[in-house]
Structure 1
Amino acid sequence: MDRLAGKVAIITGGAMGQGAGISRAYVAEGAKVVIADVAKDEGQALADELGADAHFAHHDVSDPAAWTSLVEDTNQRFGPVSILANNAGILRFGSVEDMPIEDVELLFRVNQLGCWLGMQSVVPTMKGNGGGAIINASSTEGLGGMANTVAYGATKFAIRGMTKGASHELGRYNIRVNSVHPGMIDTPMTRVHGGDIAMEYGASKIPLRRVGHPEDVAPLYVFLGSEESSYINGAEIAIDGGVTATHAFGG
C-alpha cells in the first residue's frame, strides 16, 4: 500500500474515466495527488472522496500559463512534483476527407500540445529534486492506424515520438519518460460513441474478448510512477487485451 509513499503527482484528466482510476490508485499507494481537469463537479467530488491527500485544480492543459500556476501550486501545497501523469485527452472521429479543421486543431491542442506543455512545465522541478517520472497517455492508435481516427492517431503517434525524444533528453537527470497505450477502455469518453453496442462490438475484436476498465490501466501507472520501474525509460507499453499483438484495432 506504500508503493508511492512520498511521491507527489499531477494527474491531468484526473476527474473521470482512466484518470479517476489512476487518482484513486495513487492515493491508495501513498501519493499526494493533484487532480487536474476541466470537469469541476466531478473533479471536486473525487477530491472530496479521496480526502486530504488529494486536491482538485481546474486546469486547461492547452494553456501554458495554467501549467505554470498548476506546478507552482502543487509544489507549495504538497511538495515538489515527482510524477506527471499526462492522461488528459479527447477523442473525435472523422475521415481525412470530411473532418472539420476545428476538430483537428482541438485534438492537437488537447492531446499533443497539452502533453508537451506538461512535460515542459514539470522538468525544472524534477531536475532540481533529483528526478521524477513522466507517464504520457498515447493509445493503440499511437501504434497502428485505424480508419476515421487519422487526426486522433496523429496526436497519439506524436505523443509516442515525444516520449522517446524526451527520454533521451531527460534521462541524464533521472527523469524517466514512458508512454502507455491503452486499447478500448470503458470510460465516459468512449461510451459517448456508441454505448453498450460499441463496447460489445469492441470486445468481439479483442483477443481477451472484453474491453478494459480504468482499474485495468491504473496499476500500470502505479508501476511506472514507482521505483519498481527505475530502469524503464523511453518505453511504449500497450495495455489492450492483445489487440496490437498482431494488427491494429480494426485492422
Structure 2
Amino acid sequence: MLNLKGKIAAVTGGGSGIGKAVAKVFAKQGADVHILDLSLQSGETTVDEIKADGGIAYAHACNVSDQQQVSAIFDYIGIVNILVNNAGIAHIGRADTTNEEDFDRVYSINVKGVYNCLHAALPIMKANGGGAILNLSSIGAIVGISDRFAYSMSKGAVHGMTLSTARDYMAYGIRCNSVSPARVHTPFVDGFIAKTYPGREEEMFEKLSKSQPIGRMGTPEEVANLILYLCSDEASFITGCDYPIDGGFIKLNN
C-alpha cells in the first residue's frame, strides 16, 4: 500500500514545514525526491535526513516565481511522476491595508509559482503517460478568515487551478487534487507568533491552537500522509477534489 517505488517526485518548498514532511514520507515509501526550495541549504538539510534514512533525494535552489528557473530545473530532472506544489508565503492584512507590493509578492509565489510548476511539469507528464499533482490550498479558500485578504486570494486561485488542471488533463492520465489545511504547527508559526506577539508566545500559541475545534494545530506529518495517499496509485479514482484537513474548523466551528 502507498508504495512509490520507481516514482520521481518534485516537491516545492521541501526544505521546511509541510514540504519537508512530504519529501521525507515520499522517500520513505520509495520515491526519488527532488526538492525545490528558495534556500538550497534548507533543501540540502532535508536531503541529508532522507539519505540518513536510506532514501534518495536531491536539492535544487529555486525561486518558483521565476519561470526560467523552474523550467530549467524540470528539464534537468527529466521525468516527473508526482508534483507537489507546496511553496508559498503568508500575509496579514485586509483589502485596504495590503499594499500593492505585498499583494504582488503573494501572487508571484502562491499563484504564479504554482502556474510555473504546472507549466513545466504537465508536458513531461503528458509525454510519460500520466502523473499525479497535489496543490496546497488552505481553509482560507473556503471560509472567511480575518486579516488574510491576499493569502486567501492566492489560495482561492490555487483551488481554481486545481479544478481546471484536473479537467483539462484527465485524458492524459494526469490527476490533480488539493488539500486545505487549517493551522499546522511549523517553524513558520513559531516565528510568526514570536514576531507578532513578543512576550505572549505561550498564550497566543494556545489561542491559535484552540481555534481548531479538535483543540490543537495539525502536524506537518499528518498533512503529508494525506498527500501521500492522494499521490499514490491507491487514489487513482480521485481527481479534481479538495480535502480539508482542519481539525473540524470548517464544519464544526460554530
Q: TM-score range by the shorter chain?
A: over 0.9
Partner of 1:11: 11
List runs of 5+ in structure 1 lacking aligned partners.
none
Partner of 1:201: 207
Supply the AA of the counterpart residue of 2:46.
L
> Where do 1:170-209 residues align within 5 Å?
170-195=169-194, 196-209=202-215
- What is the deviation of 1:128? 0.8
Partner of 2:219: 213
Partner of 2:87: 88
After superposition, give the CA deviation of every residue in 1:119-158 in whole Å (9 maximum; x if it has no partner): 1110111001110001000101011111210111000001
Partner of 2:66: 63
- Give secondary structure in 2 for the equivalent of 1:192: helix
Partner of 2:77: 74
The CA distance in 2 between the partners of 1:119 and 1:20, in whole Å, is 20
Is the 8 Å Cα contact of residues 199 and 211 (structure 1) preserved in structure 2?
no
Partner of 1:230: 236
TM-score, normalization: structure 1?
0.93
Partner of 1:47: 47
After superposition, give the CA deviation of every residue in 1:177-197 in whole Å (9 maximum; x if it has no partner): 101101100112222221544
* Cα RMSD, aligned residues only: 1.4
The CA distance in 1 between the partners of 2:203 and 2:187, in whole Å, is 14
Supply the AA of the counterpart residue of 1:95.
R
> Where do 1:22-37 residues align within 5 Å?
22-37=22-37
Is the 8 Å Cα contact of residues 182 and 212 (structure 2) preserved in structure 1?
no
The CA distance in 2 between the partners of 1:48 and 1:65, in whole Å, is 27
TM-score, normalization: structure 2?
0.92
The CA distance in 2 between the partners of 1:201 and 1:70, in whole Å, is 41
Aligned length: 244
Identical amino acids, percent of aligned pairs: 34
> Where do 1:114-133 residues align within 5 Å?
114-133=113-132
Is the 8 Å Cα contact of residues 91 and 189 (structure 1) preserved in structure 2?
no
- What is the deviation of 1:23? 0.7
